[in-house]
Each structure stands twice: as structure tokens, then as C-alpha cells.
Amino acid sequence: MRTRRYVPLLAIVLIGAHDIAIGEVTVIHAGWLLASPGNQPIERQSIIIENGRVSAVRSGFIDLTDPAVNDTSARFVDLSQAFVLPGLIDSHVHLASSPGAGDFGNELSRTEADLALTASRHAQLTLQAGFTTVVDLGGVGNPGHENAIFGVRDAVKSGALAGPRILSAGTPIAATGLERAASYRDEVMAAIDLRSVCDGADDCRRAVRHEVKRGADIIVFFNTGSLLSSNPVPQTMTDAEMTAIVETAHSLGRKVIADGHHAPGIAAALRAGADIIDSAHLYDDDTFRLLGSDVFFQSHIYGVVMAVGDTEETLHNGLWGWLPEPILLRFQAIRRRPFAMIEAYDHGIRNLAYASDAGVYTWGNNAGDFPEFVARGMSQSDAIMTATVNAARMLGLEDDLGSIEKGKKADIIATAGNPLDDIAELMRIHFVMRDGVVYRINNQRSKTKGYSRRIFAMTSLSMFPPVTTQTVLPVPCLLPTAPATEIAPAPSATTRLFSNNRFIAAATSGTVDTNVPSTRLLTSGHISLSTNGAPAPDMKDGSMVTGTGRPAASAAVTGVAASLSATISRVSSFRARNAEAMPQATPPPPKGTITVSTSGRSSAISRPMVAFPANAAGLLTASTYNPGSSG
């Protein structure tokens, strides 16, 4: 038997678990696969991954006998209950920043180590949120900021740190006095590295070359003043300075982002040939008309919504409520007018990319802009495209990222539900893979003796046809799964269902009443049932409760009482918690009882094994699925 290899949890969190996938063949069974956002998802697909890249996508759920696998030690990742799509891309983050007053005014006290540790934690939270690539737009006035972000970027690339792939802009290029940095005495300012500050076209060329030499992957410049200043300047640089920046960056193979808010500065950046227009909260009627077919546009909504309230009474009720009132009123005015991203969309602009400005809101909520986009009229499909195929094309990475296709990097995420129906599913990521390495999977550890390969399984509500032929073996999990929502206890003459040792459902006279949202009824973890306080089977890798003779797929729990049939999840295996207390097998239970089944098929084709009397109410039986039957 092949020796099983385990990676400690701490190593996954801090080191990145890079060695658990390199050199191995991995096969993902996807219940639904959105391989190329903008197209329709396809049911029951297998994704084959070798050396961190997708080697093939096949119809159906393949196994070791398929020639495409060609490796007896292949790992199988069971996402047959999930919706699978490409890893997300955020083109505007600040990994070393956090919301709140405490992050301001400490530029001179934070060391490179402080910045690197902060950025490392934020990088891990970002990866857990499903973002496998980010663009860090840096900051001005923090000595050592560049080195810290470059170090985190390189650590992620080498596999020493768990985080998203990072493209770093280093330090934004800005004009003197308009670099969006705190003001200090001259002798203090002399100690701060401001070599990205430039005046005149030739000096701006020097600044670009300096950033590229330092390690910048992309160039960003401030074309307008800051919204945090008392009197923002609508255009901070001359047309000649902006043109010099763009031409020099292009000559060195770098894309250019113009980060600003006001219409005049945006128009000047477009005249200079900037590749990407960012933010643009103070656009005018001409802004979107000036965008050409080759220019990309990106702006955020969630960060503004979280920053400030939308009424006079709630003005200070946001993450930025500590700011002076005139600045808060400026943000509130932006919140009250149509957001730039939606205006661009309504003007027919489709070169739109996801840019959350992460660092101005709580980390981990990186997908917060998706619901904001959709709530204001963008389709779910177009919203997903902003963070996948669009962003990859904007960054010149479309040959590697943005879709799940042969030859591309294996950046893959999964949700329990379909984000094309409910975009908020992207706020609840269950699975994350970057470069073929699994960094997040919501499942419990279970054991099966004598099996020679590892298979990951994500359990959820039974949305898709389950796979009953695979066995789940122990795997490391990055994060613990959330317990199910607790509701009031059921009457005594009932069958009770527990998840993670918390009560979630009861069965009385053939009815399962959960009052639990379907997406949270079961997040995998420990499943058990009891009848009048007596222990019942202890389930592994999820469970399924169905009414006798009813197919499981016909009654997904919706948060209300579901007569006779309530799908929770599929069963891979189960054992008795207290074997001595188990009664002997009985004939099939009468109609109206609750049955535990080991597959997603109708319980009518199951063979009863064990029954638990429930004093004529909530009779419980455990049964096994007969693979030779049909139904």
C-alpha cells in the first residue's frame, strides 16, 4: 500500500502547502464547471491537472482507468456537489493597509517587518476569499513599503507563503506635493524615499525606470488629487509628464494604471495613452465617451458603501467615520450618485475589471463588490467576467489566467451554489486552488482502510449527481468548517439531526423542519442522529435524509418544513456510535418514516439494514445503496 503523506495544518497556513501537489496528477470532479466566464456552465466535468497547469478537461467523472490520468497515484478532488470556476483576480489592492485611524500617521514607525507581516496575513485572507491573483498598487511615504510587498510577492511565488499571485506597482508615481503622503518637516521628509516623485517629463521617465529597476511589475501614477485631501486637485500632472510615464513604461514592457477620480485628470491620462483608468468616482458626461476600445476601466463600490453612511444621521457610521466631516460628506456625495463602474456598464463599456481597493474595508470581504455590481444592474455573468477573463486580458495574462483551459495555470475555486443565480455565492468560497496547489477545502477528515489514494470531498446540499464510487480519505484542511445554525429543540417524540454537535433538524411523523438556510444546513463536518435521546449512526462526510420512496433530489431544504423528504448531503460512509445499543434489522419501514441513505438515489431502491424504534414517531432506518439497481 502506498505510504500516505500528511502535511501539518500549520504548514499549510504559514508555509503554503506547496509540496502537496507538485509532481502529482490531480483530477477535479466538478458538478458544474464554468470554464470560461461569459459562456454557459457545463455539468459533470473532470479537470486534469499536472505540474500546476490544466492538462485536459473531460466530460463526465473519470477515474484511474481513463488514459488521460496516466498515473496510479493521482489525487482526486471531489467537487461533484459544487460549482467550479476560475480563480478570481483583483486589480486594485493595498496588502499592507487596513481600515481605521490606526493605520494613518504611523508611516515612520512601521518597519519593513511590520509591513511584510501585515501584508502576509492580508494575502492569506485574500486567497481564502477565492482571489488567486491581485495587483498591489502600493503607497507613498512608507519607507520600506516596496521591499515588504516585493518580499511577500516573491515568497508566494516560491511557495514559501500562502497567498495570491501578486503583481506589484511598487510606489505610485506622483508630482511633488501631490503624492498623497503625510506632510512632515523638511528634515523628516528627507528621510522618506520619495524617488517616485517627479517634476517634468524627463524626471518622470527617471521615476518609471527607478520603479522597474526596484521590481515593479506594473506602473501606477496619480493623475488627480486624493479624495482624502482638503482640496483635491483635478489634474496633478501635465500632459507631457503623463505621456513620458506611459511611453517609458511601455518601452520597458509594463502596463500603466492612471489612479484618479476627477474628469480632467482622467481625460489627460487617456490622451497620454494609459492602459487602465482606475477609480474615476468624479466622472463627467465625456468620461466614458473618451474610453477607447483598447482601454480598460475599473472602479469599486463596496469600499465606498462601507466607508460612510448614506444619510445625515448615519454619516459617521462607517469604517471611515473617524475622518473629518467635510471628507465624509465628499464620500457620501459619491455614494449617492451613480457609481462609476455602473455608469461605464450602462454606457456599453465591457472592458471592465474588478478592482476592490482592498485595504479600505475588512479583509476577507474581498468579493463584496460582486453583489454591489449586480444590485445596480450588472448581470451575474458580466460581474464574474470582470474578475476573470476581463482582468486577465487587461493584465496581458490571458494565456495563463482567467479561464480553465488546457495549458493554463490551475487557478480554480468552487462554491456550494451557483453564482450565476446568486452572485453572493462568491462571498462563500469552499475551495481554492492556485497553481495546482489546494489551499482551502471545506470538508472533514475521515478514514478508510486499505485505500491507496487520497480524495478530497466538499460536502454540501445535494445540488448535483453524487459520486458513490470514490472513498474519502484524510486530507489537511486550512480552515475549520462553520457549525450549522442552531434552532430550538424539538419535542421529545422525534428524531433529531445534529451537525458539528449542534441541533439542526427534527423529524416528527415524517416531516423534517429545519428553519436553516439551505446553503448552511451542512458545511460538512460531524453528522449524527438521535431518537428520543438514544444514539444513532455516526455519519462521515455528510448525510442524507429522505422520506421513504421519495428521490433525494426532489426535496432540497429551503428553510421551511419539507414533508417526507429533505436532502442534506450524500453519505460516503457511516458507523454506529454505540454498536451495543443498536437493535437488529427489521423489515422496510412503512411510508411516512425517515430513511438515511448512502447515495443520492431514491431510497426506494435501498436495502434496509438497521432500524431504530421511535415510539411510533420519527422511525429511523439506516440503509445501503444497491449499485445494481436503477431509479
What does the pLDDT average to over 92-116?
Answer: 80
- Sequence length of the chain is 631
Confidence of residue 168 (pLDDT cuts 50, 70, 90): very high
> pLDDT tens digit string along 419-459?
999 999 999 999 999 999 999 998 432 222 222 333 444 43
Would you state the pLDDT for residue 371? 98
Confidence of residue 182 (pLDDT cuts 50, 70, 90): low
What does the pLDDT average to over 394-400?
Answer: 98
Would you state the pLDDT for residue 617? 30
More confident residue, 570 or 313: 313
Confidence of residue 229 (pLDDT cuts 50, 70, 90): confident
Three-state DSSP class for residue 369:
helix
pLDDT at 515 over 90: no
What does the pLDDT average to over 493-499?
Answer: 39
Q: Does residue 361 share a domain with residue 499? A: no
How far is CA 283 from each of CA 39, 234, 273, 289, rounded to the nearest angstrom?
A: 31, 11, 18, 11
What does the pLDDT average to over 116-130?
Answer: 97
Q: Does residue 118 share a domain with residue 36? A: no
Cα–Cα distance measured from residue 510 to residue 481, given in angstroms and rounded to the nearest whole number:
29
Cα–Cα distance measured from residue 610 to residue 631, given in angstroms and rounded to the nearest whole number:
22
- Given a contact cutoff of 8 angstroms between Cβ atoms, the answer to whether 472 and 455 are in contact is yes
Three-state DSSP class for residue 504:
strand
Domain for residue 399, yes or no?
Answer: no
Q: Does residue 532 share a domain with residue 564? A: yes
Would you state the pLDDT for residue 351? 98
Name the H helices within 190-338. 201-214, 239-251, 263-272, 287-290, 302-307, 325-336
pLDDT at 293 over 50: yes
pLDDT at 586 over 70: no
Confidence of residue 113 (pLDDT cuts 50, 70, 90): very high
Confidence of residue 9 (pLDDT cuts 50, 70, 90): very low
pLDDT at 535 over 90: no
Q: Which residues contact 580 (CB under 8 A, 6 or more apart)?
A: none
Nearest Cα neighbor of 276 from 289, 260, 262, 300 is: 260
Give the residue from 339, 359, 394 where a domain finishes.
394
Q: Does residue 566 share a domain with residue 451? A: no
Q: Does residue 266 share a domain with residue 126? A: yes
Half-sphere exposure of 74 (CA within 13 A, CB side): 24
Three-state DSSP class for residue 440:
strand
Number of domains the chain contains? 3
Cα–Cα distance measured from residue 423 to residue 368, given in angstroms and rounded to the nearest whole number:
10
Domain for residue 401, yes or no?
Answer: no
Domain for residue 129, yes or no?
Answer: yes
What does the pLDDT average to over 143-157?
Answer: 92
Summary mean pLDDT of the chain: 72
Q: Does residue 94 share a domain with residue 79? A: no
Would you state the pLDDT for residue 534? 36
Confidence of residue 192 (pLDDT cuts 50, 70, 90): low
The CATH number given to whatever domain includes residue 411 is 2.30.40.10
Cα–Cα distance measured from residue 626 to residue 4, given in angstroms and rounded to the nearest whole number:
30
More confident residue, 187 or 508: 187
Q: Tell me the residue type at 521.
A: L
- Given a contact cutoff of 8 angstroms between Cβ atoms, the answer to whether 567 and 557 are in contact is yes
pLDDT at 468 over 50: no
Query: Dihedral of the CA atoms 384, 390, 391, 394 (nearest 10)?
Result: -170
Q: Does residue 522 share a domain with residue 431? A: no
What does the pLDDT average to over 161-183?
Answer: 86
Cα–Cα distance measured from residue 613 to residue 457, given in angstroms and rounded to the nearest whole number:
32
Q: Does residue 430 share a domain with residue 330? A: no
Grid cell, residue 555, equals 426535496
pLDDT at 51 over 60: yes
Domain for residue 630, yes or no?
Answer: no
More confident residue, 512 or 70: 70
Q: Does residue 92 share a domain with residue 31? A: no
pLDDT at 374 over 90: yes
Q: Does residue 181 share a domain with residue 274? A: yes
Query: Which segments of 453-494 are extended strands (E)?
Result: 455-457
Domain for residue 463, yes or no?
Answer: no
What does the pLDDT average to over 69-84?
Answer: 90
What is the span of the domain harbouring residue 609? 495-625
pLDDT at 172 over 50: yes
Domain for residue 608, yes or no?
Answer: yes
Percent of the chain clearing pLDDT 90 (strictly above): 53
Would you state the pLDDT for residue 262? 96
Would you state the pLDDT for residue 20? 42
Percent of the chain clearing pLDDT 70 (strictly above): 62
Domain for residue 136, yes or no?
Answer: yes
Q: Does residue 241 share a domain with residue 179? A: yes
Grid cell, residue 400, equals 495563463
Domain for residue 468, yes or no?
Answer: no
Look up the pTM and report it.
0.70
